[in-house]
Structure 1
Amino acid sequence: MSAPGLISVAEALALVLAGREAVVPVRLPIRDALGLVAGETVLAPGPVPERPVAQRGGIAVVSAELIGASPYAPALVVESPTPIAAGELLPAGTDAILPADAASQVGALIEISQPAYPGENVTLAGTDLPAGSAIIREGERVTPATVLALDIARMREVAVRRPGFRVLLPAGKGGGTAESHWLRTTLEMLGCAPSAGDRTDLSFAFTDAPEPDMAAGQISVGIALRPGAWAGRLDDARCDPALILPARFDGMVAMFHALILPLVARLTGQALRVETRPLTRKIVSMVGFSEIALLRRSGGSYEPLAVGQVTLAALLAADAIVLIPPESEGAAAGTPLAAIPIHDPLGPIRA
């Protein structure tokens, strides 16, 4: 059930998602892929490190030659141990690292005054990454740790999904508005990028932007969503842009979480994250409208901050957001709500 003259959020979302699939992955240098969503699962091509590596500087030794060694009964070796720096591969045949001052020259021989166990001060082959282990899985975000692991594993590129977006600015607002900057920044943080050329995957305008050309027979409808009802609208899918956002930030934030975020999830091959907690107190909602509710984590519960409205104070304090369906009058205290984390809303699709 939705308000007269408006279509429901569920109907609008079905239109927005119709025929949309994850964008085709593109291969980028690993450092350029930072913050984007992986379009493939990347496995370590071999063990990392490929051979034992020194954890500290010193001398590389053979532990079996030093059994029982001490300052009072040093082990004698013929060949001088090889000096080694932290991070270097161990010379063939050695299996431990000792401090350089553990060895001293005595005539033609070398005295080593302490024992060593196999692997002492050494990172063994495959300790950091076993061969075939996952560095990143499809749908996960490329993080600095991902780039570090790919670089150390000598992998130079990774396939990512990077939907392109276009925002039509209001007339006379060539430098953008606070709302358009928020929209651009949020989309970029989710792994999208401004469109280059004519191709775009997401296209938006604001209600005070120039009207798109409307051919005969095309429709423009409002959406039963609070805040933002009547201000935002969905144009016929043949229009570009098809999604018209309210000029005021509260309605824009509501439409973003109700319609745009699920579309970004679809295009990047991800899923909406959900975190379920009980309410600390009841919430009341208007029947006939889907209403945005902003929530703050409080212990193991959610504390409602705002329902059907988005204030800057509530947005700054909120940890999660949920869409109350139009048939609901609200929820009692203690009712579990499945909400989307605001600061980390998307994640891999789990089988």
Structure 2
Amino acid sequence: MTAGQRLTGSLIPLDEALTALLDGLEPVAPRELPIAETLGSVSAGVSLLGPIPVNDFAVTDGWALCARDLVGASSYSPFPLTGPPVWIEAGDRMPNGSDCVVDSALVELSGSMFQVLGEALPGQGVRRAGSDIGEGGLTIAAGRRLRALDLMLARATGLGKLALRRPRLRLINIPAVAGHTVTAQLIAESARTAGADVICSQANGRDASSVAKALTGERCDLIVTVGGTGVGHTDATVEALTRNGRLIAHGVALQPGRTTALCTIDDTPVIALAGAPDQALAAWWTLVLPVLDRLSGHLQRTKTLPLARKISSGVGIADIALLRESEGAWMPLAIGDLSLAHIVRADAWLAVPGSSEGFAAGTPVDAHMLRG
């Protein structure tokens, strides 16, 4: 029996692998950061106290007047003003006693007297106090990624910092024989997009001692390695994991991504990804992201649509299917064997459970979004 066959025979089911990783795992403690550093992070629950805006302000340029005084005004029956009106520009606070902004063409100077040539409605050209956020305020819900709009609203309410949960992820690249680092860079950028603080490092070599040394370092919430998870003569990541911690499994019933390994080091989960981009991404979606979501409290987004055509899968292995949204349905692009072209074109992914032979056309499925 070859080494590859030994690995295949010991595959841990995907759901068991995820359960083992999440067992006892709690969200990290919230911390506050300056607003400029929070975009894309996961909110820990932020209260935005109103009212916003605090005062009425003009949204157009014109004359600030009281609509009630202008009832009946027209070009045939101008309304004379007792004094000169106040000119106001967009963004200016409305003067006391005024509730509308009248276009410049409707106010004229006749001799020494100003007169208005038309009526106006209360609130015309005005943004009312509390119209954006009322007296009770609102909350950016915990578990939601902070968007640029959230940051703008927070600044408008006078906040300088926001509370968030941002796990610390240590990414260790096990250098490929050819020296490529594209997969490690992909995972690092994906982790930052997921709201993690990412600390990148690289083992000095592919041997077990070099990898084991790289696994030691400052404390973090999650360790991810990239490369060296196979059974080739230069693959020593799993041996290094067994030296440093408790190995949960080497080999997950996941296609692609079979050679993924799981471990804990001092209660910190470790997920060892293969060096190939498709295998690393499959394990990233199904194992690493759920762990990051648990640590950050993020609520993962799925979308339910019927399948445009059937998906066939072998029993015993969880197959990753890539999907593209088309005319209100999920169109399968690939399953199990994922090319980079398919990955780039996909809108969502779906893990077909190892207990299933697939899904018939028309079956509604919950897919994890890759965009938006």
Same fold (TM over 0.5): yes
- Deviation of 1:132 after TM superposition, in Å, equals 2.1
Cα deviation code 1:2-47 (max 9, x no counterpart): 963121111111121122111111112222211111111323x222
Tell me if structure 1 keeps the 8 A contact 2:311–2:358.
Answer: yes
> Which SS does the other structure have where 2:152 is aligned?
helix
Q: Distance in 2 between matches of 1:39 and 1:144?
A: 16
For 1:315, the aligned partner's letter is I
Tell me if structure 2 keeps the 8 A contact 1:169–1:176.
Answer: no
For 1:42, the aligned partner's letter is S
> 2:223 matched to which residue of 1?
203
Tell me if structure 2 keeps the 8 A contact 1:321–1:341.
Answer: yes
> 2:114 matched to which residue of 1?
110
Q: Distance in 2 between matches of 1:276 and 1:132?
A: 34
The structure 2 residue matched to 1:228, chosen from 257, 264, 275, is 257
For 1:136, the aligned partner's letter is I
CA 1:323 to 1:172, structure 2 compared with 1: closer, same or farther past 3 Å?
Answer: closer
Tell me if structure 1 keeps the 8 A contact 2:173–2:227.
Answer: no
> Which SS does the other structure have where 2:251 is aligned?
strand
- Deviation of 1:135 after TM superposition, in Å, equals 5.0
> 1:304 matched to which residue of 2?
332
> 1:318 matched to which residue of 2?
346
Q: Distance in 2 between matches of 1:254 and 1:289?
A: 13
- Deviation of 1:201 after TM superposition, in Å, equals 1.5
- Deviation of 1:87 after TM superposition, in Å, equals 1.0
Q: Which moved more, 1:92-101 or 1:164-173?
A: 164-173
Q: How many residues align?
A: 341
- Deviation of 1:210 after TM superposition, in Å, equals 6.4
Question: Is 2:23 the counterpart of 1:18?
Answer: yes
Aligned-residue RMSD, C-alpha: 2.6
How do 1:151-300 residues align onto structure 2 when only pairs under 5 Å count? Answer: 151-171=155-175, 177-195=181-199, 198-208=218-228, 211=237, 212=240, 214-215=242-243, 218-219=246-247, 220-229=249-258, 231-238=259-266, 242-300=270-328
Q: Distance in 1 between matches of 2:330 and 2:141?
A: 31
For 1:168, the aligned partner's letter is I
CA 1:241 to 1:137, structure 2 compared with 1: closer, same or farther past 3 Å?
Answer: closer
- Deviation of 1:49 after TM superposition, in Å, equals 1.6
CA 1:78 to 1:210, structure 2 compared with 1: closer, same or farther past 3 Å?
Answer: farther
Question: Is 2:76 the counterpart of 1:72?
Answer: yes
CA 1:120 to 1:57, structure 2 compared with 1: closer, same or farther past 3 Å?
Answer: same
**Which structure carries more helix by proportion?**
2
Q: Distance in 2 between matches of 1:46 and 1:332?
A: 51
Q: Which moved more, 1:101-110 or 1:314-323?
A: 101-110
Q: Percent identity?
A: 33
Q: Distance in 1 between matches of 2:250 and 2:176?
A: 26
Cα deviation code 1:201-223 (max 9, x no counterpart): 22111232864353499435221
Unaligned runs of 5+ in 2: 1-6, 201-216, 229-234
Question: Is 2:55 the counterpart of 1:27?
Answer: no
Q: Distance in 2 between matches of 1:169 and 1:204?
A: 9
For 2:51, the aligned partner's letter is P
The structure 2 residue matched to 1:84, chosen from 39, 64, 88, is 88
Q: Which moved more, 1:235-244 or 1:137-146?
A: 235-244
TM-score in terms of structure 1 length: 0.89
Unaligned runs of 5+ in 1: 345-351
Cα deviation code 1:219-242 (max 9, x no counterpart): 35221111121x221134548772
Q: Which moved more, 1:8-17 or 1:219-228?
A: 219-228
How do 1:322-333 residues align onto structure 2 when only pairs under 5 Å count? Answer: 322-333=350-361
Question: Is 2:42 the counterpart of 1:37?
Answer: yes
The structure 2 residue matched to 1:55, chosen from 50, 54, 59, is 59
For 1:167, the aligned partner's letter is L
> Which SS does the other structure have where 2:281 is aligned?
helix
- Deviation of 1:303 after TM superposition, in Å, equals 1.6
> 2:210 matched to which residue of 1?
none
TM-score in terms of structure 2 length: 0.84
CA 1:338 to 1:127, structure 2 compared with 1: closer, same or farther past 3 Å?
Answer: same
How do 1:118-157 residues align onto structure 2 when only pairs under 5 Å count? Answer: 118-157=122-161
CA 1:35 to 1:252, structure 2 compared with 1: closer, same or farther past 3 Å?
Answer: same
The structure 2 residue matched to 1:100, chosen from 97, 104, 117, is 104
> Which SS does the other structure have where 1:165 is aligned?
strand
- Deviation of 1:108 after TM superposition, in Å, equals 4.9
Q: Distance in 2 between matches of 1:277 and 1:77?
A: 63
Q: Distance in 1 between matches of 2:333 and 2:95?
A: 63
Q: Distance in 1 between matches of 2:264 and 2:103?
A: 73
Tell me if structure 2 keeps the 8 A contact 1:170–1:210.
Answer: no
Q: Which moved more, 1:95-104 or 1:308-317?
A: 95-104
The structure 2 residue matched to 1:8, chosen from 13, 33, 43, is 13
> 1:349 matched to which residue of 2?
none
